[in-house]
Structure formats: C-alpha cells, structure tokens
Amino acid sequence: MFPIQVLATILLPFAAAFEFFHNPVDGPNALPILTCFILIPNLAAFLIMATPANWTKWISLFAASLELGLAFRVFTLYQISAGGFQLVEQVPWLNNLGIQYLLGVDGMSTLMVVLVACVYFAGSLISWNVTMRTKEYFVLFSLLVGGVAGAYTSLDLFFFFLFYEFAVLPMYLLVGIWGSGRKEYAAMKLTLMLLAGSAFMLVGFLAMYFSSSVHTFDIRILGNLSQTNFTPEFQNFWFPLLFLGFGVIAAVFPFHTWSPDGYGSAPTAASMLHAGVLKSLGGYSIIRVALPALPQGARHWLPILVFLTIVNILYAAIVALKQKDFKYVIAYSSVSHCGAILFGICTLQVAGLNGAVIQTLSHGIVAAMTFALVGLVYGKAHTRELAKLGGLGAAMPVLGGLFVAAAMANVGLPGLSGFVGEFLIFLGSYRSGFHGGFNIFQVLFPTAILAIVLTAIYYLRLVQIVFYGPVKDPHIKEEAKDGSFIEILPIAFLLVVSLAVGLYPKPFVDLSNATIAPLIDQIGGFK
C-alpha cells in the first residue's frame, strides 16, 4: 500500500503540472509558469507551517513532484530554434531605480530549472526519515529551493541577488540545527564565506549599474554594454572581483574550505541541494553575468584564471585522496568537479563552455546522488570514518551497486552524464586559442586531464574500502540493512537522469548551445 501512495503522490501532481501548462504560455490567458516555479516551494513552506506534522512529508513530496512536472514542461516549451530568452515575465517594481521583477529562461537556465526540480524531488524523498523537528526542517528546505529556483530564473540582478541570499540563510539553520559533528562551526563558516563572496558580487553589480548609461539591473541589457559603456580598464578591474565573488559560491581555491566542512556537517538533503544546485550557481553566474558584460576583462585575466582553476581541480582531487571521512572525500570531489566547470568557462571556446554547462547539470545530479548515498550509509552504519567502514556490499547490495554507478558517473565513464561534460571541457581546452604568444591551454591541458585519473583513484579507493573487503566492525554488519523503497527511489531517479544525459546528450547540448553559441559570437571567443 505504502509504495502505491507514494507513487500516486508523485505521478498525479507531475502529470497535472505537465497537462495544466500545456497551452503555449505566450497567449493572453497563459499562466506565468516561471512565477509558479518559484512560488510552489515557497507556498509549500507556508502550507507545511499551517498543517499537522504528519502531513509535512506528503506536502513536500507533492510540491516537489509538481515542481518536477513544471520543470519538464519548461524543458519542452523552450524552442531551441528561436533561441534567446523565452517565457519572459516582466513587472515593473522600482521603475525609477531600474529594478524590475523580470523572469525568463534561455537554453542554459532551462537545464538549471530541470536540475533544481530533480534535486528538490530527490531531496524530499531522502528526507522522508527525518524525525527531529520535521516541520521546521521541511519549511527551511522548501525555502532553500524557492531561493535557488528564483536565482536561476531571474534576469534582474537585484532579484538574482535577493533570491541567492534567500537560499543561503536557510542553509545556515539546516546545517546548524540538523547537522552532525562540528555543526555550529561549519554552519558559521559556510554562511560567512558565502556572504563574503556575495559582498564582492554586490559591489560588482553596483559598479555595472552605475557605469551603465541606462542605470538598469536587467542582465539582458547589461550584457550588451561591453562595447559601449564598459571601458577596457573598467572591465579589467571588475572582472576578477566578480569572478572571485561567484568563485566563492563555486568553492574556488583558496576559498573552498567552507565546502568540505559545510557538507561534512550538513544533513543529507541540505548537502544534496547545496552541492547540486546552489554551488552550481557560481559557474552559471559567470556565464550569465560576468562573461557577456565584461569579456575584455575575461580575456585579460585568462592565464591567471586558467592556472587557478587547474590548481583547483588537481588540488582538491589530491586532498580527497587522504581524507579519513567518507563525506569529506565526496565534498572534495565536488570542489574538484566545480573547478572543472570553471576551467571549461575559462576556455572561452564553444565546446568548452558547453561542456561547463553540461558538467554543471551533471555535477548537480551526480553530487546529489553521492551525497544521498553517503547519508544513507551513515544512517545505517552510524559512522562515516573510513577506518571503521568495510565490507558493506554484502549487507547492502543495492546501495553498494548504486554507489558504484555514482562513482563511475563522477569518474566520467561513457554512458553516464559526467563523461559528456568532461569530454566537452577537455575538447574545448584543446581547441582554445592562443594567448599572449603561446597557447596556455595546450601546455596545461594534460595536467587537467590528470584529474580524471585522480578521480578514479579516490573513488575506487572509496568503493573498495566501504563496500568491498573484510568487515571491520561486526556491529555495523549486524545492524546495516539495504535501502528501502523510499530510500532507493530518489537515487534510482537521479541515476536515470544521469544515464539520459550520458546516453543521449543531444537535447541537453542543443539547449546549452542555444545560449553558448551566441555568447561566443558576442564576446569574440574561440570557435
């Protein structure tokens, strides 16, 4: 009976959302689909507050399924041939200051909308067994999703910033209250570092606002001002600051230490959402805001940024080798993969940037999957210390198998999503052009490739230590059980998405290219 109820709660709203928004939304009576996308998690939060505690999980699952249906609707509604921003919703808000409520998606943000919904859905199911202060937990979790949903669909920098801050604050409470280990320290560190990064962001936004002749926060207009309003000196000065501000979100070296501590302490669904969705906002924002508005700055700082991102990839991968905590390995792996995204952006080349977008999607799905699995193993074995874990594959064969699949997706096995993103990034870096007389990419390209080998070493080491080999602690073996239906469902779902991107990447790459190809033309990147 139980699985049937769950499946009904998933499928009915999914189908309803898909059916309800069937009409072309450009018509006069059309529903504002993106506003609904932002409203659903926020309304769910208020509904959870107002209803009895035993409704909580069902409301959250219902809202997440509705969100998923809506996201797939956006995915099918976006017309690649037309390109540009679609499903635009525009309401003047503070007109004399140039601030408006402006939503819209292009190919890249359509992929991010799908990513947000997938991780929200999986996170809702993974949190099914949260028993401590369930209502508050789900309220904050839903608000976090509402924040990132807004950040990925906003085309106005003011609202973009507002939604981003909305997302960071629930994270602080989620880590601080429902976390494990040094949770207060981790929550404080994560929030302070992310807020410090957003201070750079805000200053950069204001600089662009005041330097533009039209005084607007509209991303579409700011992106076209690079030739007319923003002088090369202006761009050279502000691009690195914006890159740093967005880079802190993406855990760029040396501002990455919030990430392992934060994820190490965060409850499972919070680390899934943060690693999968909020962290991806860093790379996304560089492509969305910094590159179109300040392309000269990007070219000027390219050698240093390329070096920094390669250090990021390799450094995090090497540090991951020596971690003693299961979740810290995954956290450093996430830092390394986000470095690959930034490296792809720095190629300023069509394939490289497309790779960065696909890798953002892939990292979101795969990181959510691995964090979910670590959370489940921790819940059953009551320890994350690698020295105590061992031989769990016999006790939990399904979870073990899923972890191997997740590890392979991280490593970049063909057929899974990680391969598509990484392949395109490395292809792009090889094809990328000269800078200052020599081709920095063809020198550094082999070192970046090395990261794949390192990733394989630390993931295979994890699989070997945790799931294979002898059982080190007999208590763990006695208590550990395989995942239940409700635990396996979200991970299997994410695996299916990863397989879909890996086996047939064309619709995803086409969507990404609808954003990237015009951007490369506009900023004069490499083809």
Query: Where on the chain is the footprint of another protein (CB under 8 A)?
Result: 189, 192-193, 254, 257, 261, 315, 318-319, 321-323, 457
Give the C-alpha separation, 504 to 507, whole Å.
7
Q: Are 446 and 362 in contact (CB under 8 A)?
A: no
> Among residues 148 and 316, whose Cβ is nearest to another protein?
316
> Among residues 224 and 257, whose Cβ is nearest to another protein?
257
At its nearest, how many Å lie between another protein and the CB of residue 453?
Answer: 10
> Among residues 322 and 527, whose Cβ is nearest to another protein?
322
Give the C-alpha separation, 419 to 423, whole Å.
6
Q: How many CB atoms lie under 10 A from the CB of residue 442? A: 13
Long-range contacts of 398-403 (CB under 8 A, 24+ apart): 398/482, 398/483, 398/488, 399/373, 399/482, 399/483, 399/487, 399/488, 399/491, 400/467, 402/369, 402/373, 402/483, 402/488, 402/491, 402/492, 402/495, 403/370, 403/373, 403/377, 403/463, 403/466, 403/467
Residue 349 DSSP SS3: strand
At its nearest, how many Å lie between another protein and the CB of residue 89?
Answer: 40
> Among residues 7 and 192, whose Cβ is nearest to another protein?
192
> Among residues 248 and 356, whose Cβ is nearest to another protein?
248
Q: Are 451 and 336 in contact (CB under 8 A)?
A: yes
At its nearest, how many Å lie between another protein and the CB of residue 391?
Answer: 21
Give the C-alpha separation, 142 to 138, whole Å.
6
At its nearest, how many Å lie between another protein and the CB of residue 280?
Answer: 23
Q: Which secondary structure element, helix H or strand E, spans residue 85, and what is its range? A: none
Q: Are 398 and 488 in contact (CB under 8 A)?
A: yes
At its nearest, how many Å lie between another protein and the CB of residue 458?
Answer: 9
> Among residues 322 and 382, whose Cβ is nearest to another protein?
322
At its nearest, how many Å lie between another protein and the CB of residue 384?
Answer: 17
At its nearest, how many Å lie between another protein and the CB of residue 322?
Answer: 4
Between helices 326-346 and 350-381, what is the axis angle to 10°?
170
Two tokens, residue 145: 């999703």
At its nearest, how many Å lie between another protein and the CB of residue 321?
Answer: 4
> Among residues 162 and 457, whose Cβ is nearest to another protein?
457
At its nearest, how many Å lie between another protein and the CB of residue 454?
Answer: 8
CA atoms within 13 A on the CB side of 410: 35
Q: Are 323 and 383 in contact (CB under 8 A)?
A: no
> Among residues 188 and 486, whose Cβ is nearest to another protein?
188
Provide φ and ψ at 156, rounded to 5°: -115, 125
> Among residues 87 and 454, whose Cβ is nearest to another protein?
454
